[in-house]
């Protein structure tokens, strides 16, 4: 299991989620994607994205105005 970093700081909704979706497609099931964002709307966007797609939002936090989301790609059906 690996972790990939995606920096989308400075991008506004819906770009952080769209970029994360594209990055997740390239990952293996169970791999993690850490997303760094500054758009406050990303909190609700990533929660809804994970709920709708089946990926797991395993961690969420903020440090110095930068939001961090860790998403685990769902297992293959």
Place of tokens 């990533």: 46
The model's pLDDT over 30-50, given as tens digits with 9 standing for 90+, comes to 999 999 999 999 999 999 999
Place of tokens 């903020």: 62
Which contiguous run of DSSP H or E holds residue 31? none
Q: Residue 1 — very low, low, confident or very high, per pLDDT cuts 50/70/90?
A: confident
Of 13, 56, 60, 70, which one is the catalytic site residue?
Answer: 13
SS3 25: helix
Comparing C-alpha atoms, which of 3, 11, 75 is closest to residue 45? 11
Q: Is residue 13 annotated as part of the catalytic site, yes or no? A: yes
CATH number of the domain located at residue range(s) 3-72 in this protein: 3.30.110.40
pTM score of the predicted model:
0.95
Residue 15 tokens read as 């770009």
Domain parsing of the chain, residue ranges: 3-72
């Amino acid at each position: 299991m690996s972790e990939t970093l995606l920096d989308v700081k400075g991008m506004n909704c819906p770009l952080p989620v769209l970029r994360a979706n594209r990055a997740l497609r390239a990952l293996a099931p169970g791999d993690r994607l850490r997303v760094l964002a500054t758009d406050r709307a990303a909190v609700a966007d990533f929660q809804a994205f994970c709920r709708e797609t089946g990926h797991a939002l395993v961690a969420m936090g903020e440090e110095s105005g930068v939001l961090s989301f860790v998403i685990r790609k769902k297992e293959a059906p």
